[in-house]
Amino acid sequence: MDNTIRTLRRTEGMGMAYITAILRRDGHDVEMLDAFLRRMSLRETISEVKNRDFDCLGITAYDVHKRNAIVIAREVKRYKKDAIIVVGGYLPTFTAEKLLQAAPEIDLLVRGEGELTASEVFGRISRSEDWKEVPGVAYLKDGIPVLNPPPKLIEDLDSLPFPARDERKKAGDGPALIVGSRGCNHRCSFCAIPSFYALSGGKLPRRRSPSNILDEMEYVIAETGIREFVFADDNFIGPGLKNREHVERFAEEMRRRKLNVTFTIEARVDEIDEDILRQLKEVGLTRVFMGVESGVQRQLDTYAKGVTVEQNKRAIELVQRLDLDYYIGMIFLDPYVTLSELAENIEFAKTYKLPDGKGTSLVATSKLTLYGGVPIIDKLRREGLLREREMDLDYVYKDPMFRLVSGVANVVSTPLRLASRLRFEK
């Protein structure tokens, strides 16, 4: 659920919020601390944790958090050696062995979808029972990592309690994150989402019912007063008639309840059409995030997007025509990029005036980032381009000229510098 939109406007961590809600439902006393939402430094986070009274500390971590998670675990264990430290999320799901060996202070990891595992583990801990056989758990035994089989996926997402909103209420202004579905139909080579759910046998997204989603919206409004929502769904619309009908039922339920809210969605360029967007706009849609990724067809193919540059263009033009704000995600550099492709991508961004200062934003990633569970890793390893060091993954550029220029002129940072100046004169 590390949605790209979160880099633009900070919202609460939903993994932690759902786990908190589950544990409270089970009768546990749980406090939350969302350091990302509060814009806390590592030092501030550690100090805040030390000032609280607890028996167990749970940390939600993505790959970008790996160093901080390790430091927090070490500092907390040094301060409170009897505390049980648990880490869950994408990071421990895909790098369990390395993470446990790098930080033996961590007592256990929760891999995959965490609600059922957390409920069982903390239930057993509270009853002084052994938790080491619980599905989804990983831990060290005599210095050797033990990885239990993954947990089952939750079939009915409507059965989950609404995520805890403690930190959202404390943070004040800002949108509320909401999750309407889990998973994605597609298999982009740079994305670990399908791999995350596939560990438990999941192949297709699971969706909450429109009525359940709107019940949560009404709950958030009542609890916080917030009427702006960002959907963290990996793909809000989805392919095919069945998914389209689900979105239409959502729009109809929104019309019926008249909630007077605004919301942002993430959608693929080949799955949006004018009718769907108009229906959503009528009930509050104001902004669309589209993972365009590139204006170069070779890169789209490398990323396994299954779309064309022309489809990217048509989608952008459609959203513009409907007068919706939009974010465009682009990845300028990949292991196979050439200087001419980089120039072509910059020209693509210039053509669509990204950003334009009028509601359009470019979420530019200068370089394709690798982390556990990303499919392209195997390809790079086979081709000798992958560079691995402990939990860190990187690659060298295949094109000799690009490799030379990037090393001499630091081309890696150029796209982001350019992306901040994209009000070009033609």
pLDDT tens digits, one per residue of 82-118: 999 999 999 999 999 999 999 999 999 999 999 999 9
- pLDDT tens digits, residue range 346-366? 899 888 766 555 555 666 667
In the DSSP assignment, the letter for residue 65 is G
Q: Which residue in the block uniquely carries the two structure tokens 């880099």?
A: 7
Token code pair at residue 160: 């989950």
In this prediction, residues 157-184 reach a mean pLDDT of: 91
In this prediction, residues 392-410 reach a mean pLDDT of: 84
Q: Which residues have C-beta within 8 Å of that of residue 61, sequence separation ≥ 6?
A: 68, 69, 87, 88, 89, 90, 91, 92
Q: What is the number of other CB atoms lying within 10 angstroms of the CB of residue 421?
A: 7
In the DSSP assignment, the letter for residue 94 is H
Q: Which residues of 20-48 are buried (b: 16+ CB within 10 A; e: fewer)?
A: bbbbeeeebebebbbbbbeeeeeeebbee
pLDDT of residue 414: 52
Band the pLDDT of 5: cuts 50, 70, 90.
very low
Q: Taking the model in full, what pTM does it have?
A: 0.89
* Of the candidates 271, 274, 264, 268, the residue with the CA atom closest to the CA atom of residue 241: 271
Return the CATH architecture of domain 4-147.
3-Layer(aba) Sandwich (3.40)
Band the pLDDT of 15: cuts 50, 70, 90.
very high
Q: Which residue in the block uniquely carries the two structure tokens 């239930």?
A: 123
Query: Which ranges in 240-302 belong to alpha helices (H)?
Result: 240-257, 274-282, 297-302
In the DSSP assignment, the letter for residue 213 is H
Say whether 175-419 and 4-147 share the same fold: no
Where exactly are the structural domains of the chain? 4-147, 175-419
Band the pLDDT of 1: cuts 50, 70, 90.
very low
Can the peptide bond before residue 205 be classed as cis, meaning omega within 30 degrees of 0? no
**Is a pLDDT exceeding 70 seen at residue 276?**
yes
User: What's the rounded Cα separation, in Å, for the pair 299 and 183?
Assistant: 23
User: What's the rounded Cα separation, in Å, for the pair 245 and 251?
Assistant: 10
* Of the candidates 57, 62, 110, the residue with the CA atom closest to the CA atom of residue 85: 57
pLDDT of residue 422: 47
* Of the candidates 156, 320, 163, 153, the residue with the CA atom closest to the CA atom of residue 229: 163
- pLDDT tens digits, residue range 322-342? 999 998 889 999 999 999 999
In this prediction, residues 404-421 reach a mean pLDDT of: 57
Write phi, then psi, for 261 (nearest 5 degrees).
Answer: -120, 165
pLDDT of residue 417: 53
User: Does the domain made of 175-419 have the CATH classification 3.20.20.70?
Assistant: yes
Query: Which ranges in 7-136 belong to alpha helices (H)?
Result: 14-25, 42-50, 66-79, 90-94, 96-102, 115-126
- pLDDT tens digits, residue range 226-275? 999 999 998 999 999 999 999 999 999 999 999 999 999 999 999 999 99
Rg (CA), the chain: 22
